[in-house]
Structure 1
Amino acid sequence: MIALAVGGLGSAFAYTAGWLSPQRLTAQRMVDAIEANGPPRPGFRRAHARGVCVAGHFEANGRGAQWSRADVLAGGRTPFVGRMSIGGGAPDGNEAGARVRSLALKLVQADRQEWRMAMNTFPVMAVATPQAFHEQTLAGRPDPATGKPDPARVAAFAAAHPEMAGFRAWADSAPFTDSFATDTYHSVNAFVFVDGDGREQPVRWTMRPLAPVATLDKAARDALPSDYLQRELERRVQQAPVRWEMAVTLAAPGDPTADATRAWPADRERVVVGEVVVERVSPQADGDCRDVNFDPLVLPDGVRPSDDPILHARSAAYSVSATRRLRETAAGAATATEVSR
């Protein structure tokens, strides 16, 4: 019932965004394309299949209350359940070698309103529209003869989408850190903070690690076990909680909010509004994050979505994926150790 309710909410958002219609791309088609790029993985999330549950609290310093009336930002502690994962649909993927890593949170206010975040290590999207994302997924489909994407097809897609330059620059140059705890995670998409008087401020946010950052070269990554990041995080949290500071970037008039491939100028004001504190780590098979759909459009009063069409597409696609996954699990398609996010 929860999956159906969330699915209906996501579909409503997608419909109002105008991209979910008989003449346009649907969430079902988008998820179908993702599924077709790999072998069937019943019971697993279609993207970010490998991960680990985390739990802790967000400690607000009150500075965010100037721009948003959300209780989370007013000051004090808000508990959360979260998940740290790597990109891709392989539940046995090599963690240390994953180019994309993610942090998802479900913060629950005292009034039971929720703020769900789905953040990634890349600071900008590769493409700006759901249709382009779908085309990118099709371009990356493995060739049955080689098991890898066709380089010519991938190159043709890249040539047709020069907006990918920012993402490709990050992918080519960003270091591989030695821990989930030492990565930086971005909202990527823009949102809008709303204060007590109804004034609106477009924002993006970043979770910046407070632990010292170390990196891994390719030889070191290749020598590590595939579950290295999970095990390292477990050991680290046993010694002390892991912390990130949440820095909110305030858009200036004219900064793009509907195009997540475009970074805002580096001189925009950034305000640290609190800290994310991870205190517990548990396997995703039976952890608190197992059945959570980290839909980025589940927002508390004081935060609303921007006009970015990718946000609405993500919401609807997450709902489709969650419904399929929970149905597979309920039908016994996945064992207890195979249940993902």
Structure 2
Amino acid sequence: MAIIAAIIAAFVYAASDKRQPVSAQDFVNLQQGDVIQQGFRRAHANGFCVSGEFIASGALAEYSSATVFQTGRHPFIGRFSVAGNNPTAPDVKAPVRSLALTLLPDSAAQWRTAMNTPPVLPVGTPEKFYQQLQAIKNNTIAEFFAAHPESAAFLQWRASYQPTQSYATEQYHSINAFYLINNAGQQQAVRWAAVPSAASETLSSDSQHDSQQEPAVTDSLQQELFTRLAQGPVTFDLVFTLATANDNASDATVLWPATNPQRIAGQLVITAANEQKGHQCDALNFDPLVLPAGIQPSEDPILRARAAAYAESHRRRAREVLLESLTGNNSAKGAGDE
């Protein structure tokens, strides 16, 4: 069930159940565990910074007034990471990998997005996520899924997913839906995915077996990406799927049909990578609700919940960094989140 726990770690939220009120503070407390990794993110603690530019094709200009979708080159700061609260856990073992981006970081038109390898969520509301977390803790997750048929798409993905040998060959999904708004005020519901240009090669059975042995290299995926970048840029197509009248933008548990219209918004070109400590991505909170004019959130309640939890994690990290700087302890890692 490690992959289920990782999904919940990736999408911690604030929920309110009449029987047991739950806050963002409660979930961050649970996520960080008994041993607090001072200065690190409470989720996705193991990661590193990347930067480059988004070469927009202009294919979404008719759907959105956002600057980032207008033809041209737009800089970004990003971060690859894996799920979990332990910054020294072997990255190759993690069941969920992530790519977070802040495009146009020095502009009022900036856009932040946090994408993950799963294309859907197991359940669609904060309350059900809370119940699912309790089921994992109580070893009743099988019964939980049996009572929640909406988990079918996620369970199918989990059963078929094979991790690749590189961050550069994974596909990363927005999971939640958003609305593009054009100059005429028309809106179009969309999801998107960063689709790798490099050929995908899954981990061999021997490699997967070896990755379960101890000791394991903490940052083998990071080292692979650094080596790959030394040979040239790492690229992804940013592919948008357009909703039809049959799709519910508020339900992240359902895959949209492969027959839906798609548009390639442009190409993400990663040209540099750095350790997270002391570099720009470490101080960023990749809150998916930081959106420019021309993009709006859907009514999906998970989006608001994610923002609340990210803010709480960011607040704690910022306080730790400040206290460590005042005491002369230089072990602080940053003040961002996700």
Q: Same fold (TM over 0.5)?
A: yes
Contact 1:70 1:300 in 2 (8 A): yes
Letter paired with 2:268: V
Distance across 1 between alignment mates of 2:136 and 2:84: 12
Equivalent residue number for residue 82 of structure 2: 86
Superposed CA deviations along residues 217-236 of structure 1, whole A, max 9, x for unmatched, are 24213435231100000011
In the alignment, is the contact (CA less than 8 A) between 1:286 and 1:336 conserved in 2?
no
For each residue in 1:254-276, what CA deviation from the matched residue of structure 2 results, as whole angstroms up to 9, or x when unmatched?
30111101111111001111011
Q: Which residue of 2 aligns with 1:53?
A: 49
Check if 1:292 corresponds to 2:284: yes
2:51–2:78 CA contact under 8 A, matched in 1: yes
Unmatched tracts of structure 1, length 5 or more: 1-13, 142-149
Q: How many positions carry a matched residue from both structures?
A: 316
What letter is aligned with 1:120? Answer: N
Out of 31, 35, 51, the residue aligned to residue 32 of structure 2 is: 35
Residues 320 and 332, structure 2, Cα contact 8 Å, conserved in 1: no
Among 153, 160, 163, the alignment partner of 2:147 is: 160
Query: Which letter maps to 1:28?
Result: Q
SS of residue paired to 2:44:
coil
Structure 1 residue 201 corresponds to structure 2 residue 188: yes
1:215 is the counterpart of 2:189: no
Could you tell me which runs of 5 or more consecutive residues in structure 2 were left unpaired when the two chains were aligned: 1-12, 212-216
Q: What is the aligned-residue RMSD (CA, Å)?
A: 2.4
Between 178-187 and 323-332, report the one with greater CA deviation.
323-332
1:135 aligns with 2:122: no
Residue 140 of structure 1 deviates from its aligned partner by: 3.1
One-letter code of the match for 1:307?
A: E
Which residue does the alignment assign to 1:236?
228
| Secondary structure, aligned partner of 1:282 | strand
Which digits, 9 at most, give the CA deviation of each residue in 1:300-321, with x for residues without a partner? Answer: 0000000100000001110001
Q: How does 1:38-187 map to 2 (within 5 A)?
A: 39-108=35-104, 111-141=107-137, 150=138, 152-187=139-174
Alpha carbons of structure 1 residues 202 and 27: separation in structure 2 relative to 1, 3 Å: same
User: Deviations for 1:287-330, whole angstroms, at most 9, x for unmatched residues?
Assistant: 21011000000000000000100000001110001111111122
When residues 108 and 138 of structure 1 are mapped into structure 2, their CA distance, relative to the original with a 3 A threshold, is same
- Note the alpha carbon deviations across 1:180-211, whole angstroms, 9 max, x for none: 00000000000000001000000000110001
**What one-letter code is carried by the residue in structure 1 that aligns with 2:70?**
A
TM-score normalised per structure 1: 0.86
The one of 312, 321, 327 aligned to 1:320:
312
Counterpart Cα distance in 2 of 1:338 and 1:154: 35
SS in structure 2 at match of 1:134: helix
Question: Which residue identity lines up with residue 24 of structure 2 in the other structure?
Answer: A
Question: Taking structure 1 as reference, are residues 258 and 19 closer, same or farther at Cα in structure 2, changes over 3 Å only?
Answer: farther
How far residue 29 of structure 1 moved from its aligned partner, in angstroms, is: 2.3
Is the CA contact 2:39–2:332 (under 8 Å) kept in the aligned structure 1?
no
Which residue does 2:331 correspond to in 1?
A: 336
| 1:281 corresponds to 2:273 | yes
Residues 320 and 268 of structure 1, relative CA distance in 2, 3 Å threshold: same
**Counterpart Cα distance in 2 of 1:327 and 1:265:** 44
- Cα 1:320–1:337, aligned 2, differ >3 Å: closer, same or farther? closer
Deviation at 1:165, TM superposition (A): 1.9
For 2:95 and 2:310, locate their aligned partners in 1 and report how far apart those are by CA, in whole Å: 21
| Structure 2 CA distance for partners of 1:28 and 1:109, relative to 1, 3 Å | closer
One-letter identity of the residue aligned with 2:172: Y
Shift of 1:21: 11
Q: Which residue pairs with 1:266 in the alignment? A: 258
Whole-angstrom distance in 1 between the partners of 2:45 and 2:52 = 22
Aligned-residue offset at 1:63: 0.7
